[in-house]
Amino acid sequence: MTKESYVKVEDIMSTNIATIDAMATVQDAVTKMRDEGVSSLVCERRDHSDEYGLMVVSDIAKKVIAKNRAPQRVNVYEIMSKPVLSVPKDMNIRYAVRLLTQFNLSRGLVVDEHRVPVGIVTLRDLVLRHIDD
């Protein structure tokens, strides 16, 4: 019997994680996204019993710009997703694709065995890598 190898999420994730406090304004978040060159920000936990949040560009488009709200007057916590779906770093990318599509998500927060964020993985990267293999 041969052991089938697989690609782990950690092999394709982006390790460039930018974080922001949920009390920051959307204007601050946009500035940080631009400076960091990212399209999503992980919202920090308040304490160990709290969960991580995630704010993506589409949240800004749908919940701020499309509704004609002022980015300087909207806080990140008002538009972020929380709790964020997390993906174990050693998960097979095939199952990560299933997980993200099941919840109609474009990305997931990659965590280690202690639930500490170690990266971000996008559905695009997962699909392209899976098809290549």
pLDDT at 1 over 50: no
Asked whether residue 90 is domain-assigned, the answer is yes
Overall size of the chain counted in residues: 133
13: left (phi over 0), alpha (psi -120 to 50) or beta: beta
Tell me which residue range forms the domain holding 25.
Answer: 9-132
Asked whether residue 3 is domain-assigned, the answer is no
* Predicted pLDDT at 80: 97
CA distance 22 to 1: 50
| Model pLDDT for residues 17-44, shown as the tens digit of each residue | 999 999 999 999 999 999 999 999 999 9
Percent of the chain with pLDDT over 70: 96
Here the CATH number for the domain that contains residue 61 is: 3.10.580.10
The band of 129, judged by pLDDT with boundaries at 50, 70 and 90, is: confident
How many domains is the chain built from?
A: 1
Asked whether residue 2 is domain-assigned, the answer is no
Q: What is the mean pLDDT of the chain?
A: 93
Asked whether residue 4 is domain-assigned, the answer is no
